[in-house]
Structure 1
Amino acid sequence: MSFLRLEIAEGIAHLTLVRPERLNALTQEMMDDLLTVCRQIERAEGAHVVILSGEGRAFCAGGDIDAWSDLSAEDFSRHWLRDGHQALDALARLRQPVIAVLNGHALGGGLELAACADLRIAEEHIRIGQPEPGLGVIPGWSGTQRAARRFGAQILRRMALFGETFTAQQALEIGLVDQLAPSGDGLTQARALAGTLRHRGPVATELAKMMINAAEGEERERVIDAFAGRIAASQPELQRGLDAFKARRKPDFWER
């Protein structure tokens, strides 16, 4: 993963976009790697919270224009948009709480990436916006769907339809971000916030996140399956069924 760096220590999975020379603009390779690393984080027993940040002076400038501008309409929709959706969905649906540190501008796909987090900390110098329609393209990767559920449709209208961008202070006031930090202090603030999860039940936190996501319309079907599966797997009859299967006999679930 040449443009993503994952470090797991002290319960924190720190995922960093590492393409500072291009303001951490996203490529197809980065989206593929993001999907892979989200699966790795999901299964990491030592990861209880995720911090997402960008290296250098930007959080993420969105999708790299050079990566998609020459694609055919079919490839743009079939691969660039669809694959990007899969990667960002995986990030939004991680079992762990995700804190995004907006240590630089979050534009277009960068805002869509930040929208996947459960909490956003913005350093005071940054700006946030959706410039895609100025290029003749829509905000993809749930820039009009998940972002609308999490920030409100009117905020998106101001950015996507009229090209408005917001300072960090304005973003805090309208709910695009949750906390402000002095420039350069976002990661420190995020780590302190992550530390508070040591005093909160990890299973209860995971389940609460799943239920909140379902209430928002995020992965509702998967949440129902996960809850039902967890209940079924915790029952003694599962072991009875497995024992009977291995012994090549019919299970008796009424047996005491």
Structure 2
Amino acid sequence: MLGPQRRFNVAKPFELEVPEFEHLTYQVEDHMGIVTIRRPQALNALNQDVLMELAAVSEVITQDPLVRVAIFTGEGRAFVAGADIAQIAGLEDVFAAREFAILGQSVFNEIAALPVPTIAAINGFALGGGLELALACDLRVASRKAKLGLPEVGLGIIPGFGGTQRLPRLIGRGRALDLIFTGRHVPAEEALSLGLVNRVGEDALETAKELAAVILKNGPVALALAKEAMGRGENLDLQEALEIEADLFGLACATQDMREGTRAFLEKRPAQFKGE
């Protein structure tokens, strides 16, 4: 479980080592950790190197006490156009293909488990592995020109980075089967109506930043605990899930952020949360 003191409260100057990335950039802006995948010549397609860098940047975000919301986006006209087809075509047997799928699943599981809210800023094509990356984020915003889909069956394969599992959990089995069986590309407005994205705007990154700014007004420990409660409880029966919620509610009430939040409400002023 996330320890509020361990994640946000830094008692001494903190120097974070950020590795050099070849295929992505990482920057922190107003408590937003912004990850931009930069392989535009391949429409940001995911090969093994990109996946390993996404795993590394996830570790950076986990350790960075300045980051309270993480945003993932892509450079150019694609968010991520999918897994690298050349690499998939080179998979020689069942075992190699399975290992590639497990790599993608593991990386996206790390992103899903980040202790801060995560937003996919879908600036263009989010297909195959790209949509699976977006599905691993907590929230998704799309530009009006975005196209989303899982077209793998047209290549004679199936989604392998979590798409067959996360998509039906998000939009329902029937709608997910429609998208997977047809392999069609869904425009942003239809994605919004399906519940596949949360918001649509002219500029995906700016829309994501606006959403993040609203989230950042709230207590960072409370956000982390709310995310943990939903994640741990979603596959349990209701009573077990409610017990987890009660435990985490108790932890939230033991924080200085709770004292500040309730005091600020009673004093009719904005709260100044410190993540403690």
Which TM bucket (shorter chain)?
A: 0.7 to 0.9
The equivalent of 1:201 in structure 2 is 219
Which of 204, 214, 239 aligns to 2:232? It is 214
Q: Kindly report which structure 2 residues correspond to 1:1-256, keeping only aligned pairs within 5 A, or say none.
A: 1-72=21-92, 73-78=94-99, 80-182=100-202, 185-217=203-235
Contact 2:168 2:176 in 1 (8 A): yes
Contact 2:140 2:198 in 1 (8 A): yes
Q: CA deviation at 1:128?
A: 1.0
Specify the code of the residue in structure 1 equivalent to 2:223: T
Q: Distance in 2 between matches of 1:186 and 1:70?
A: 34
Contact 2:69 2:216 in 1 (8 A): no
Q: CA deviation at 1:28?
A: 0.4
- CA deviations on 1:47-78 (whole Å, 9 max, x unpaired) are 00011100000001110111221112211102
- CA deviations on 1:183-237 (whole Å, 9 max, x unpaired) are xx2211211221123321111100001111223339x9xxx7xx79x97xx9xxx
Q: Distance in 1 between matches of 2:108 and 2:101?
A: 10
Q: CA deviation at 1:164?
A: 2.9
Q: Distance in 1 between matches of 2:204 and 2:114?
A: 22
Gaps of 5+ in 2: 1-20, 255-276
Specify the code of the residue in structure 2 equivalent to 1:206: A
The equivalent of 1:238 in structure 2 is none
Contact 1:61 1:110 in 2 (8 A): yes
- CA deviations on 1:86-111 (whole Å, 9 max, x unpaired) are 10000011111011111001111111
Q: Distance in 2 between matches of 1:155 and 1:65?
A: 26
Gaps of 5+ in 1: 235-256
Query: TM-score scaled by structure 2?
Result: 0.76
The equivalent of 1:251 in structure 2 is none
Specify the code of the residue in structure 1 equivalent to 2:209: R
- Structure 1 runs (4+) greater than 4 angstroms displaced: none
Q: Distance in 2 between matches of 1:189 and 1:160?
A: 27
The equivalent of 1:248 in structure 2 is none
Matched residues, percent identical?
37
Query: TM-score scaled by structure 1?
Result: 0.82
Specify the code of the residue in structure 2 equivalent to 1:212: M
Q: Distance in 2 between matches of 1:153 and 1:128?
A: 17
Q: How large is the Cα RMSD of the aligned pairs?
A: 2.1
Q: Secondary structure at the match of 2:163?
A: coil
Q: Distance in 2 between matches of 1:161 and 1:177?
A: 20
- How many equivalent pairs are there? 223
Contact 1:88 1:113 in 2 (8 A): yes
Q: Distance in 2 between matches of 1:197 and 1:157?
A: 32
Q: CA deviation at 1:162?
A: 2.2
Contact 2:123 2:146 in 1 (8 A): yes
